[in-house]
């Protein structure tokens, strides 16, 4: 079994409902258990596409699925919750990103672990640090240290909205 970290987000429709459905579906995956969920934070979108604010959180799981199997599973969960991939970094009902998979580094055309942008994103680091600020991200450092290195303005757009979901 391997500890994996997943970032979840939604900015269309019943945002909290989609996050709850995604977390429940993760708990139903074979050989996978949800160990912890951060609070939910409302955040401004990144990437330059005009769209509404996101709800974001981080989920810690334990799984014996391979990184590739986990990617396939989370993409199926996204699709089952109405995710459509039309615009890169565009609006979405449910987004599930694999942030880290144990201490593995995966470099494939369709999958990069650790997630290539996580060290820049307060909407990932704030909820992750809430669960485990001492987690060592391969090649990047500890979650808490990365969070401390973010500009204060990046943190201003991250507001806790829901503690238990």
24-44 mean pLDDT: 95
Catalytic residue among 95, 121, 132, 154: 95
> What is the predicted pLDDT for the residue at 117?
87
Query: Where is pLDDT greater, at 109 or 32?
Result: 32
Fold of 2-162: Alpha-Beta Plaits (3.30.70)
Active site residue 154: no
Active site residue 83: yes
Catalytic residue among 14, 15, 83, 121: 83
pLDDT at 88 exceeding the cut of 70: no
Q: What distance in Å separates the CA atoms of residue 37 and residue 87, rounded to the nearest whole number?
A: 28
Domain ranges in the chain are 2-162
Q: What distance in Å separates the CA atoms of residue 98 and residue 7, rounded to the nearest whole number?
A: 6
Catalytic residue among 14, 15, 85, 92: 92
Catalytic residue among 14, 15, 85, 97: 97
pLDDT at 82 exceeding the cut of 80: no
Q: What distance in Å separates the CA atoms of residue 7 and residue 59, rounded to the nearest whole number?
A: 6
pLDDT digits (tens, 9 = 90+) for 111-145: 999 998 888 899 999 999 999 999 999 999 999 99
Q: What distance in Å separates the CA atoms of residue 129 and residue 79, rounded to the nearest whole number?
A: 28
pLDDT digits (tens, 9 = 90+) for 1-31: 999 999 999 999 999 999 999 999 999 999 9
């Amino acid at each position: 079994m391997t500890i994996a970290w997943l970032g979840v987000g939604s900015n269309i429709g019943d945002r909290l409902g989609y996050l709850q459905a995604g977390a429940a579906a993760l708990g139903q995956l074979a050989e996978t258990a949800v160990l912890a969920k951060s609070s939910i934070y409302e955040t401004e979108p990144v990437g330059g596409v005009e769209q509404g604010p996101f709800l974001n959180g981080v989920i810690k799981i334990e799984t014996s699925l391979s990184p590739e199997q986990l990617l396939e599973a989370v993409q199926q969960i996204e699709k089952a919750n109405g995710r459509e991939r039309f615009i890169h970094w565009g609006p979405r009902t449910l987004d599930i990103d694999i942030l880290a998979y144990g201490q593995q580094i995966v470099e494939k055309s369709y999958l990069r672990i650790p997630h290539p942008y996580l060290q820049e994103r307060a909407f990932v680091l704030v909820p992750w640090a809430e669960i485990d600020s001492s987690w060592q991200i391969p090649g990047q450092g500890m979650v808490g240290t990365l969070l401390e290195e973010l500009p204060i303005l990046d943190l201003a757009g991250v507001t806790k909205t829901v503690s238990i979901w």
